[in-house]
Amino acid sequence: MTNTALFKSMIDRYNKVAYTHDYIFGFAENGNIYACITKSDVMPYVLKLDRASRGQGMSLRFKPTTAQKEFLKINSECFIICSEKYFNEMHASMKYNKGETFERICTEYFGQKWEKDSLPFTEGPDLTANGIGYQVKYQAATFCNEKSLNHLG
């Protein structure tokens, strides 16, 4: 299977088992942290195929290039959610990774209290706001790898 075919297949298989197809993608740019609310149809344009950890095959990752950031700004409801300084200060005060820091900022943006959870992407959203369940992904996030997708069917 070519990398292009594998990339498409992994996105299709991921979407088949994902609980939600609504996303909030986050990234840093020019001293700001952006939050981009969108649907799964942007995945082929903003994800990349990457090598997963040893024995896991390939992975789908959100590691946006400058062009992909611009794509999100144009093709989603994209806004500055906080400064990079605020993000880094919050991240330094937490024991969690940057993705979880971004998830907390998004949750608080929607007026909710954030709590760490371990809910699989197949069973529920990271955040529900205005009646919509979102999966929240910050730059450098891994969506899944071949091995995990193979176990999901």
Report pLDDT digits (tens) over 32-65: 999 999 999 999 999 999 988 887 889 999 999 9
**Best CA proximity match to 27, nearest among 142, 141, 138:** 138
pTM check: above 0.85 = yes
Q: Are 102 and 34 in contact (CB under 8 A)?
A: no
- Residue 110 in any domain: the answer is yes
Neighbours of 110 (CB within 10 A): 13
pLDDT at 53: 82
Neighbours of 29 (CB within 10 A): 15
- Residue 151 in any domain: the answer is no
Q: What is the mean pLDDT of residues 77-89?
A: 98
Whether 153 has a pLDDT exceeding 70, the answer reads no
- Residue 153 in any domain: the answer is no
Q: Which pLDDT tens digit goes with each residue over 93-120?
A: 999 999 999 999 999 999 999 998 889 9
Residue 12 structural domain: 3-146
Whether 1 has a pLDDT exceeding 80, the answer reads no
- Residue 49 in any domain: the answer is yes
- Residue 91 in any domain: the answer is yes
Number of domains in the chain: 1
Q: What is the mean pLDDT of residues 136-147?
A: 94
- Residue 152 in any domain: the answer is no
- Residue 41 in any domain: the answer is yes
